[in-house]
Amino acid sequence: MPAAETGPLHKAKPGEWLKVKQLEAGRQMQLRISSMGLKIGDEIEVMSNGFGGQVVVASGDSRLVIGSGMAQKIWVEPVDTRWTPQRTVMPRFHWIPNPSGFCCVT
């Protein structure tokens, strides 16, 4: 997403830092988004964008998986990371399959 351009979350690329600007959704969808812990003004990092349209974002110490329909209704703008203090987010995990299921290691 080009600098200072507002657009829907589903168009963001992994690694981008964004600020939630508005929710282009009905009342029920807005309540659902806010119940997930995401609100206007929050800064988020896009962790991945793919997997059938799902977007994974980091917001504070939380990771949220947002479906493509919901991601199209969340409008964001890029955050200028040159002058902001170092952000702290949870470490990234790598998922490794094993016979008993999935195990995460850093």
pLDDT for 30 beyond 80: yes
2 within some domain: no
Mean pLDDT of 67-71: 91
18 within some domain: yes
CATH code where residue 33 lies: 2.30.30.90
Q: Which of 73, 99, 62, 87 is nearest to 9 (CA)?
A: 73
Mean pLDDT, the chain, whole residue set = 80
Q: Are 71 and 18 in contact (CB under 8 A)?
A: no
Question: How far apart are the C-alpha atoms of 52 and 85, rounded to whole Å?
Answer: 34
Residue with tokens 């990371």: 81
Residue 106, pLDDT score: 42
Number of domains, the chain: 1
Q: Which of 77, 35, 37, 32 is nearest to 61 (CA)?
A: 37
**Domain interval for residue 58:** 7-80+89-105
29 within some domain: yes
Higher pLDDT among residues 53 and 22, named by residue = 22
CA atoms within 13 Å, Cβ hemisphere of 24:
11
Residue with tokens 């790598």: 94
Q: Are 69 and 83 in contact (CB under 8 A)?
A: no
1 within some domain: no
